[in-house]
Amino acid sequence: MPRPAQTIEFPSRAGSRPAGSGLPPTHHLPADAANDLGSCSFWVGDCRELLPRIPAVRDRRISLVFADPPFNWNRAYDKWDDRMPDSDYLEFTYDWLDLCTGALTDDGSIWVNIPDDWAAEIVVHLKKRGLQMVNWCIWHYRFGQNTTGRFINSKVHALYFSKDPIRRVWNPEPVMEQSDRAAVYNDPRTFEKTDGSPAGLRIPMDVWYGPYWGRIQGNNTERRAKHDNQLPEVYLERVIRCSSNPGQIVLDPFIGSGTTPVIARALGRHFVGTEYSDANAASAFERVQAGPVRVTREPRIMSTAITSRRGGTAAEAKVLRRKEKQNAEGAEGGAEAAKEGKKRGRKARAS
* Residues 317 and 285 placed together within one structural domain of the fold: no
Sign of CA dihedral 38, 23, 125, 116: positive
* Residues 96 and 240 placed together within one structural domain of the fold: yes
Please report whether residue 197 resides in a domain. Answer: yes
* Residues 65 and 180 placed together within one structural domain of the fold: yes
Nearest to 304 by CA among 198, 182, 137, 222: 182
* Residues 285 and 318 placed together within one structural domain of the fold: no
Please report whether residue 308 resides in a domain. Answer: no
Please report whether residue 304 resides in a domain. Answer: no
The model's pTM: 0.80
Please report whether residue 54 resides in a domain. Answer: yes
* Residues 77 and 217 placed together within one structural domain of the fold: yes
* Residues 86 and 43 placed together within one structural domain of the fold: yes
Nearest to 206 by CA among 310, 109, 133, 264: 133
* Residues 212 and 349 placed together within one structural domain of the fold: no
User: Domains in the chain: how many in total?
Assistant: 2
105-130 pLDDT tens trace? 999 999 999 999 999 999 999 999 99
Would you say 66 and 93 are in contact if contact means Cβ atoms under 8 Å apart?
A: no
* Residues 252 and 327 placed together within one structural domain of the fold: no
301-319 pLDDT tens trace? 877 776 666 665 565 665 5
Residues in the chain, overall count? 351
* Residues 333 and 269 placed together within one structural domain of the fold: no
**Domain of residue 346, residue span:** 313-351
Please report whether residue 12 resides in a domain. Answer: no
270-281 pLDDT tens trace? 999 999 999 999
